[in-house]
Amino acid sequence: MSALNLDDLSDLIKRPDSTVRRAAEERRERLAVPPGALGRLDELGEWLAAARAEVPVAPVERPRVVLFAGDHGVAGLEVSARPAGSAEVLVRAVLAGEAPVAVLADRLGVPVRVVDVAVDCDPATLPAEVVRHRVRRGSGVIDREDALSAEEAEQAFRAGMAVADEEADAGTDLVVLGDLSVGGTTAAATLIAALCGTDASVVTGRGGLPIDDLAWMRKCAAIRDALRRARPVLGDQLELLATVGGADLAALTGFLLQSAVRRTPVILDGVVGSAAALVAQRVAFRAPDWWVAGQVSGEPGQTKALDRLAMDPLLDQGVRAGEGLGALLALPLVQAAAALCGTLPEQPRSPKAAPDAAGTAAGQAAGAAPSDGLLKKAEG
């Protein structure tokens, strides 16, 4: 396997087509619905048009939920309400259709894909399609040891890229991205604090399944100690992911970057995805133009990351479940934006008739009478 050059990857990523976006904005001005009446749906529709290089934009017909799964050794420090090494339980709930994201995806008719990159279980106990990108069982305890070796970090990163290529080749036109992890919010908060230059207490949240005050203090201490290990390697994103990230975070980062290469729009979910997006932004500053933030997770680390990414989440419903659920809740909004932007009729334009001499004279005699055009403007 040849060494991965992230600069080469960055060079492949271009922004969504600005010419197409301007054309979408101009078409929006001609719609019968007044400008501004659809709020952020206008912005979303124009973003999709640019990403897909088409005006009017086609409906979103083949979305897919993609969830990267992994355990984090730091969960053994009792920083999570879930037992260490229990990501397998989350994976099985999704596969059985019992997890909230699976229930909603079934109702919306959206397929769900689970990618195990570091679940701490025997791979033979999970379906072959789920485990074929497995890198290792769990990740290291990041406050005292590396999450991954350099080789494992690159393998996980490439796994994410491969999944992005598989989805693009399969015709997926929008990805709802999430994670199934235990201890993942601790690793994510460490990455965010390191990249934003802030302290552990600013980014330490209570997780999807809330922890008590003692567990929060243990989590804060673990992030503080991991930050000391992260700061010396900030200049190398793969080394940073190996040091304090994890296989799922490395895979998410590779997935986001390769999705931007393949021009596949992505809806981000919570703090773990936001941390990966922040790392990916360091690799390719144009990449975030291909993503939108689905929801506010309540994690302070996510708020910090999205502020740095200049992203405003689409929803704020207090959903903390993670697992891609918040991003999936935002999917109908994006689909609605595509439908409205792409199919609303343009307002018919009346042909302008040249006034005859008598009409001109009458208009001059009337003086204060407004023209037909002004009347239409006033009525509109």
Dist. CA 327–CA 67, nearest whole Å: 11
Q: Is 120 helix (H, G, I), strand (E, B) or coil?
A: coil
What count of other Cβ atoms lies within 10 Å of the Cβ of residue 368? Answer: 4
Dist. CA 198–CA 218, nearest whole Å: 18
Exactly one of 29, 323, 346, 379 is catalytic; name it. Answer: 323
Helix ranges (H only) for the chain are: 6-12, 18-29, 40-52, 87-95, 100-108, 128-131, 150-169, 184-196, 200-203, 213-230, 237-244, 247-261, 271-283, 300-309, 325-343, 357-366, 372-379
Dist. CA 254–CA 66, nearest whole Å: 13
Asked if residue 56 has a cis previous peptide bond (ω within 30° of 0), the answer is yes
Q: Residue 151 catalytic? A: no
Torsion sign (Cα): 130, 134, 140, 145: negative
- The answer to whether the CB of 273 falls within 8 A of the CB of 254 is no
Q: Is 69 helix (H, G, I), strand (E, B) or coil?
A: strand
Q: Pseudo-torsion of CA 143, 144, 148, 149, nearest 10°?
A: 150
Active site residues: 323
